[in-house]
A and B are shown apart, each in its own frame.
Chain A
């Protein structure tokens, strides 16, 4: 415990000293931008400290981060959805409720306007149904909103996946196995891979006997694929670390990094 506290104090002290130096030497400007960079560097380093172990600095940064993000996302919802989509509809509903006779006349003139009105009103009602969960009364109304979201999502996915993930994938898998150049090895492997993976995933058979043998080939394909994807990802993750370290070195410590 004592060692942890010592490490903690040394780290905080170092951070303070470095920033003091940066500001006093004028390498970081003493304005909103400079303070912002200091804050960004502090948050970054505090989150990195999780690599050593969970500690007060990480907890501080984590909790601050969660609070800021929550308010930001709420703001996004307000400015992107509530203001342009919900409030105009709410105002229209309010007007309609205030002048029900006008609405009635309009509907008598063209009954199909019920659809136009429904399109405006129903989503707001479905949204309001969710609010029953806060009041704790008539909570079952929220299920109607769930049903709409789940049902529509389930419906939309069906045709859209068939094209991209099945039909478009069949053609390229079907290639002649014998060409002028001789036996076509890669097309054969692709066919073997697709078929053996499909068989590996079938639910009807235990992985024994002939099905077991083909499934095993399927596992090999899966393993090559997972290994390759893993290896491919290492690079991307290192890129992110490079990016964040570059930020700390260039923007915070104001160092010049060599291009070559």
Chain B
């Protein structure tokens, strides 16, 4: 558990910073955030416990259609001699959506290297581009195809939302990728991309936790990873038991919330309210 030393380092850093005059406040805990804190601690422990359990137990999980289609998309692209276009969403690297998308890209790149597929990655943020270059490069090296890696395939497409959409729409109709894979947090450009992609006959696979854009991906893409399925995708693709373990922890969390909602409603119906929920 060398994380203990990391934890001490982190807290020491924090203390060091806090005791400097620049941050001169003496309120050490926000008591109104206590419920938040306890929830975070409980769920974190749950996740970490399941991750360490996962190494010993075999975990079964349900299928996700969108992920099984990735191989199909790569295969078809190779057959047709056309590229696969991976499109990052509109959040920068500090967003969980983008982190999840990069995790998917890592697995996708590994397979693309094995299949010998030409993979293109469009970015709207330079840091996401740089991270993607690193990820794809390592994936190609791991798959024994470092020669097939070309940094220029992971490119900065445009610097704002709609010039990004315009460039990619142009790219989609001109290059006609065999598959468009859109992962991350999307805004209005989702439909501009997916509806244009639908006209070229590409296989389209989307994954987003942007609730407002789900209706458009659902209707215009062949497969859509909805919400948390995007975060789970890398666990599925890598089959890494530790990552799969954290999915189990999420399920336990959901079960606990479900139980709380049902019991709470039952009690509320009989006039008993749970004070810590602030139920009306």
Interface residues of A (CB under 8 A from B): 47, 50, 54, 58-59, 61-62, 65-66, 69-70, 72-74, 112, 115-116, 119, 130, 133, 142-143, 145-146, 149-150, 152-154, 156-159, 162-163, 166-167, 170-178, 187, 191, 194-195, 198-199, 201-207, 222, 226-227, 229-230, 233
- How distant is A52 from chain B, measured CB to nearest CB, in Å? 12
**Chain A interface, DSSP helix/strand/loop, else mixed:** helix
Q: Are A162 and B36 in contact (CB under 8 A)?
A: yes
Is B271 on the interface with A (CB-CB < 8 A)?
A: yes
Instruction: Please indicate the chain A residues that have their CB under 8 angstroms from the CB of B61 in the complex.
Output: 203-204
On whether A152 and B212 interact (CB within 8 A), knowing A171-B278, A171-B279, A175-B280, the answer reads: no
Quick one: which of B211, B265, B280 contacts A191, CB cutoff 8 A?
Answer: B265
Query: In the complex the two chains form, is A54's CB within 8 Å of B173's CB?
Result: yes
Contact between B36 and A167, CB atoms less than 8 A apart: yes
B60 contacts A204, C-beta separation under 8 Å: yes
Inside 8 A of A191's CB, which chain B residues have their CB? Answer: 261-262, 265
A146 close to B131 (CB less than 8 A) = yes
Q: Which of A47, A154, A226 contacts B166 (CB 8 A)?
A: A47
- A159 near B33 with CB under 8 A, answer yes
Report the minimal beta-carbon distance from A71 to chain B, rounded to whole angstroms. Answer: 9
5 residue pairs from A and B, CB less than 8 Å apart: A73-B159, A149-B93, A166-B257, A171-B279, A174-B261
5 residue pairs, one from A and one from B, having the closest CB atoms: A153-B94, A73-B159, A174-B264, A226-B215, A230-B215
Query: Is there an interface contact between A142 and B265, defined as CB atoms closer than 8 Å?
Result: no
Q: Which residues of B contact A (CB under 8 A)?
A: 16-17, 19-22, 33, 35-37, 39-40, 44, 60-63, 92-96, 99, 127, 130-131, 133-134, 158-160, 163, 166-167, 169-170, 173-174, 211-212, 214-216, 218-219, 226-229, 232, 247-248, 250-251, 254-255, 257-258, 260-262, 264-265, 268-269, 271, 274, 277-280
Contact between chains at B159 and A69 (CB < 8 Å): yes
Q: Are B219 and A195 in contact (CB under 8 A)?
A: no
Which residues from chain A contact B170 at a C-beta distance below 8 Å? 54, 58-59, 62
Contact assessment for A149 and B158 in the assembled complex, using a CB-CB cutoff below 8 Å: no
How far does the alpha carbon of A226 sit from the alpha carbon of B134 in the complex, in Å? 36
A203 partner, pick from B212, B216, B232, B277, beta carbons under 8 A: B232
The reply to whether B169 and A112 contact each other, CB–CB distance below 8 Å, is: no
Whether the pair B94, A167 counts as a contact (CB closer than 8 A) is no
Residue numbers in B under 8 Å from A230 (CB-CB): 215-216, 219
In the complex, A58→B167 CA distance in Å? Answer: 10
Contact: A54 with B254, CB < 8 Å? no
Alpha-carbon separation in the docked complex, A159 to B32 (Å): 13
Residues in B whose Cβ lies below 8 Å from that of A158: 40, 44
Q: Which residues of A contact B211 (CB under 8 A)?
A: 229
Cβ–Cβ contact A195 & B261, under 8 A: yes
| Contact A149 B94, beta carbon cutoff 8 Å | yes
With most chain A CB atoms within 10 A of its CB, the pick from B60, B96, B229 is B96
Check B163–A65 contact: CB distance below 8 A. Answer: yes
Q: Contact: A112 with B19, CB < 8 Å?
A: yes
Are B228 and A174 in contact, with the CB atoms below 8 A?
Answer: no
Q: Which residues of A contact B166 (CB under 8 A)?
A: 47, 61-62, 65-66
Question: Which residue on B lies nearest to A172, using beta carbons?
Answer: B280
Q: Tell me the nearest residue of chain B to A201, going by C-beta.
A: B228
| Known contacts A62-B170, A146-B131, A153-B94: A174-B268 contact under CB 8 Å | yes
Q: Which residues of A contact B95 (CB under 8 A)?
A: 153, 157
